[in-house]
């Protein structure tokens, strides 16, 4: 009976690796590597390291904070290039062979998300190998890695979802308008009534898990709120994948 269970587990693992989503992610990453653009992302990490850690030494909290912003910016630029490269005219032939277009959007998201881990490890290796931290703390680095990866993976998947041909221009405008509203609510550029500030602060609520994961790297303390934030970010990722798949299914690609 144990052998049967192990056999079923092995078949499930093989089936998962051969699923359309994972297969597409592997093919997209291989193509991204051959094109040379993947190496550009690593060069950008190297540039961030040189700009942020020379000539002065910094502490671990600084590393966790700068990693979020530096790798977050790369998590926007990289997936945009990846999607652009992976949605050429030949994509129509591939989409025609898939039972669901949503598998292609999920494959793109898996590829973009999977690349966040080696980029973070490369950044961390540079900092540690060149001894640029004044207080390398294993606890802070571990929880900081959890927070940084959670945030950058979400940014990468969201970027893929907003890229054409998945999202329309109007959907991107709606998202950017909400983002501008959130930034304005954090720090209004002109005086507004107190009641309006309270109303606008509601737009910040979806970003609470992001802020909590950022704080995880600053404190190194894992709390129930941290767990809730990670679960919410995972839920965001699933929701983004479902919505993006639905958008791609309904999109008339001939108009793209």
Residues 6+ apart with CB under 8 A from 234: none
Task: Give domain limits for the chain.
Answer: 19-255
| Range of lowest pLDDT (52-56, 89-93, 109-113, 185-189) | 89-93
Given a cut of 70, is residue 11 above it in pLDDT?
A: no
Distance CA 142, CA 159 (A): 26
At residue 193, the pLDDT reads 81
Mean model confidence pLDDT for the chain: 86
- List the one residue out of 250, 246, 238 whose CA is nearest residue 113: 238
Asked if the model's pLDDT at residue 253 lies above 50, the reply is: yes
**Rounded to the nearest 10 degrees, what angle do helices 169-186 and 138-162 cross at?**
140
Please check the confidence at residue 96 and state whether its pLDDT lies above 60.
no
The more confidently predicted of residues 118 and 99 is 118
Band of pLDDT at residue 255, cut at 50, 70 and 90: very low
Report residue 133: phi and psi, to 5°.
-105, 135
pLDDT for 99? 67
State the average pLDDT over residues 234-238: 96
In this model, does residue 41 exceed pLDDT 60? Answer: yes
Q: What is the mean pLDDT of residues 36-62?
A: 93
Q: What is the pLDDT of residue 3?
A: 45
Q: Which residue has the higher pLDDT, 24 or 130?
A: 130
C-alpha dist (Å) from residue 108 to 97, 113, 162, 231, 255: 17, 9, 12, 22, 21
Question: pLDDT at position 71, please?
Answer: 96
Res. 5: pLDDT tops 50:
no
Q: What integer is the mean pLDDT of 180-195?
A: 82
Q: Give mean pLDDT, residues 25-53.
A: 94
């Amino acid at each position: 009976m144990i052998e049967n269970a192990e056999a079923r587990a092995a078949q499930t693992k093989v089936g998962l690796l051969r699923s359309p989503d994972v297969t597409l992610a592997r093919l997209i990453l291989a193509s991204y590597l051959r094109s040379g653009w993947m190496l550009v992302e690593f060069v950008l990490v190297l540039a961030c390291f040189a700009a942020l850690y020379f000539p002065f030494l910094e502490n671990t909290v600084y590393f966790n904070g700068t990693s979020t912003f530096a790798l977050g910016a790369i998590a926007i630029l990289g997936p945009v290039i990846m999607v652009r490269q992976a949605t050429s005219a030949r994509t129509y032939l591939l989409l025609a062979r898939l039972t669901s277009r949503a598998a292609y959007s999920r494959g793109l998201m898996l590829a973009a998300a999977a690349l966040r881990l080696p980029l973070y490890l490369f950044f961390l290796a540079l900092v540690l190998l060149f001894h640029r931290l004044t207080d390398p703390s294993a606890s802070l680095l571990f929880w900081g890695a959890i927070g940084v990866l959670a945030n950058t993976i979400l940014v990468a998947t969201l970027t893929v979802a907003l890229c054409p041909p998945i999202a329309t221009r109007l959907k991107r405008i709606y998202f950017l308008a909400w983002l501008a509203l959130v930034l304005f609510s954090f720090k209004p550029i002109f005086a507004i009534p107190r009641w309006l500030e309270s109303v606008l602060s509601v737009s910040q609520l979806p970003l609470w898990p992001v802020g909590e994961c950022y704080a995880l790297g600053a404190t190194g303390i894992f709390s129930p709120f941290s767990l809730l934030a990670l679960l919410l970010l995972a839920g965001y990722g699933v929701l983004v994948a479902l919505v993006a798949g639905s958008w791609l299914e309904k999109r008339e690609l001939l108009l793209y």
